[in-house]
Structure 1
């Protein structure tokens, strides 16, 4: 049950990151939202939670770190896609 909640939370965070950046004109790319949400939530949420001294508990610092991490991953993905599209 916890794994399903983590996957859903990560996907929602990834979709929110795409909407905050506003780079997708077709709506939310759910596969990219899933990847960015899971990677960003894991790295950003874990890093911010540990740096703030909250440990591995579910705290607001971890949620904020998850959003920031997903935004960074999404922005990096858009940059990489644009760089590769310019080459072709």
Structure 2
């Protein structure tokens, strides 16, 4: 499986950020750019957390990368909402 590359991270990050914003109810506040940023940062968070529990995140492929970004993005938006004082 080839590495994702820059465009792959933007596409997967954007999709993961958008779905995470739908799950957390913040979609109306976020645009495309913020969804991409949330998804990519979520990928780093999710990858770090999954590595801590023993998953091999480097060889996971597109679907695993998407799920990793989605998990991390939901965690990120949960933390942001807690800091802002919302549910």
Report the TM-score, using the length of structure 1 for normalisation: 0.67
Matching residue of 1:4: 7
Give the Cα–Cα distance (whole angstroms) in 1 for the partners of residues 18 and 57 of structure 2.
26
Matches within 5 A, 1:26-65: 26=28, 28-48=30-50, 51-52=54-55, 54-59=56-61, 61-65=64-68
Say which structure, 1 or 2, has more relative contact order (CA 8 Å, 6+ apart). Answer: 2
The whole-number CA distance in structure 2 between the counterparts of 1:55 and 1:13 is 16
- Runs of 4 or more off by more than 3 Å in structure 1? 59-63
Unmatched 5+ stretches in structure 2: none
CA distances 1:18-52 after superposition (whole Å, capped 9, x unpaired) = 0011244x364333312211111122034425722
Query: RMSD of aligned C-alpha atoms?
Result: 2.7
For 2:39 and 2:6, the matched residues in 1 are separated by 14
1:15 aligned onto 2:10? no
Distance 1:21 1:39, change over 3 A: same
- Tell me, in whole angstroms, the C-alpha distance in 1 between the residues paired with 2:75 and 2:69: 10
